[in-house]
Amino acid sequence: MPAVGIATSGNNKEYVGNLTPYVLATCIVAAMGGLIFGYDIGISGGVTSMDSFLKKFFPAVYRKKEEDKTTNQYCQYDSQTLTMFTSSLYLAALIASIIAATVTRKFGRKLSMLFGGLLFMAGAIINGAAKAVWMLILGRMLLGFGIGFSNQSVPLYLSEMAPYRFRGALNIGFQLSITIGILVANVLNYFFAKIDGGWGWRLSLGGAMVPALIITIGSLVLPDTPNSMIERGQHDEAKAKLQRIRGVDDVSEEFSDLVAASEASKQIEDPWRNLLKRKYRPHLSMAILIPFFQQLTGINVIMFYAPVLFNTIGFGSDASLMSAVITGSVNVLATMVSIYGVDKWGRRFLFLEGGAQMLICQAVVTACIGAKFGVDGTPGELPKWYAIVVVIFICTYVAGFAWSWGPLGWLVPSEIFPLEIRSAAQSVNVSVNMIFTFLVAQIFLTMLCHLKFGLFLFFAFFVFVMSIFIYYFLPETKGIPIEEMGRVWRTHWYWKRFVSEEEDHPNGGYEMGKAGQTVKNV
């Protein structure tokens, strides 16, 4: 068997530079872009479990849930209109990510973040003031446009600003802020649901204005990345910026490589068509398959619908919201484990360990729910100890995702794309993510109704498949500068057939010399 997935090379390039307080503060502010995504993921499930919200906008669901106690527990929330409230956001994010690719490439990462914040704020205002379902859907679509722009630009921004030795940890700040957003949303849902008069859902939905303000203001004060400035011809400013964020005066080697990559990218007339070339087959495959598998781990079933799911398996309304807070807390803590370990243990180790952990937990949860609910979905009174066991294994599953497929699903694609295809490939990455987030969100409750406890086996199957995929096809990218990433494909047992030494240089003219100089091929 070939050496699976391991990249080795004798030409390891190391750029000078430190993790300066300036770049650390910059990356923390930029990573806050994840708050809007996380807040929305956490808020929607809690709101849809609030009786006052259901009575106002989805009375048929409320009647099925409260008035017909003989209803199969698996099917009590099965409503395409209700799921459209959640999933419409991701359809809009898909459309926005395609537009955002052009904005990010031509006008910089900052402007894309600004658009994301403003659109998200508009959606939050409309949702908080909603009087009818169409207002909810409109607000959700504006939120989706905002997420499409921010998810396109923030991971790229972080990967380009961070020193390559710390790129993994700083990029995972984006996922950390997503998990913090989810936790904050769950906590707010728990308390807002207790407000007399049943209008707490307006505060939950309208509260999205706060993370929107953070990313909007942040985009105005953040510096642009040297990569983006070079793309737009601002070479002197880019070199000065690179010196500041690396904390050293001599950045000539890294700057020369960035300029060479930019010159190469300018010769690409159509980055979308270029993305289809044979030499970019591994990049395109990862841009499609990693977000595809990330969504089919089943994590969004937990995060979107945690209160609904816990309510369905026998928890009371307060208990279901509190259980969502618990899983949200685990999500945050486990993401911090990834920040510590991603540049220490590597991407592949975390991917594989997390996959094994999720697979085991899904099997146990399937057995627990299947044994108690059977196929008719009428468990009677759920013992307290039984509920605790289910929550423990769901939390263990969430932890496995939070230090593996959660952050790495955004980190790895953002760091492997060459500059000439970076915006287009990141747009594909975000688009695929949003397509399958939309599909999972839209059909989950129907799948729960029909597959019953077998739904968890459905997701477990994909966890098994994606772990095999990672083992055989993903090379290790830890500690490799972005502009040197081509060598991981040239030394991989499978991908080297698509990426040769000559093909790796997009314009056929630039190559990194062994002494660190950028030289012209002849």
Name the amino acid, one letter, at 474.
L
The predicted model gives 395-408 an average pLDDT of 92
C-alpha–C-alpha distance, residues 76 and 74, integer Å: 6
Asked if residue 310 lies in contact with residue 303, where contact means CB atoms within 8 angstroms, the answer is no
**Closest to 112 (Cα-Cα) out of 513, 386, 427, 478:** 427
Q: What are residue 511's phi and psi, to 5 degrees?
A: -145, 145
- Segment among 141-145, 240-244, 502-506 with least mean pLDDT: 502-506
Positive or negative, the Cα torsion across 262, 265, 269, 273?
negative
Where do the domains of the chain lie, and which CATH numbers do they carry?
Answer: 21-224+268-498 (1.20.1250.20)
Task: Give 313-381 as a DSSP string.
Answer: TT--HHHHHHHHHHHHHHHHHHHHHHHHHHHHH-HHHHHHHHHHHHHHHHHHHHHHHHHHHTTTT---S
Average per-residue pLDDT for the chain: 80
373, pLDDT greater than 70: no
- Segment among 327-341, 430-444, 502-516 with least mean pLDDT: 502-516
**Banded model confidence at residue 235, pLDDT cuts 50, 70, 90:** confident
Higher-scoring residue by pLDDT: 87, 127:
127
Give CA 246 to chain center in angstroms: 27
What is the pTM assigned to this prediction?
0.74
Mapped onto helix, strand or coil, the DSSP state of residue 512 is: strand
C-alpha–C-alpha distance, residues 447 and 143, integer Å: 26
For residue 150, the model assigns a pLDDT of 87
Higher-scoring residue by pLDDT: 387, 185:
185
Q: What is the pLDDT of residues 28-74, one digit of tens each?
A: 888 888 888 888 877 877 787 788 888 888 887 777 766 655 455 55
**Closest to 43 (Cα-Cα) out of 105, 136, 114, 122:** 136
Q: What is the pLDDT of residues 86-102, one digit of tens each?
A: 777 888 888 888 888 78
- Segment among 11-15, 171-175, 209-213, 223-227 with least mean pLDDT: 11-15
**Banded model confidence at residue 286, pLDDT cuts 50, 70, 90:** very high
Highest mean pLDDT among 259-273, 294-308, 336-350: 336-350
C-alpha–C-alpha distance, residues 265 and 243, integer Å: 23
For residue 311, the model assigns a pLDDT of 65
Q: What is the pLDDT of residues 449-506, one digit of tens each?
A: 777 777 888 889 999 999 999 999 999 988 888 777 888 898 899 999 888 654 544 4
Question: Residue 511: which H helix or E strand, with range?
Answer: strand 510-512
Asked if residue 319 lies in contact with residue 391, where contact means CB atoms within 8 angstroms, the answer is no
- Alpha helices by DSSP H, listed for 51-166, are 51-57, 59-62, 80-107, 109-128, 133-161
**Banded model confidence at residue 520, pLDDT cuts 50, 70, 90:** very low
For residue 514, the model assigns a pLDDT of 36
Asked if residue 350 lies in contact with residue 338, where contact means CB atoms within 8 angstroms, the answer is yes
Question: Residue 520: which H helix or E strand, with range?
Answer: strand 518-520
**Banded model confidence at residue 75, pLDDT cuts 50, 70, 90:** low
For residue 464, the model assigns a pLDDT of 96
N-terminal to C-terminal alpha carbon distance within the chain: 37
Point out which residues pair with 506 in neighbouring strands.
none
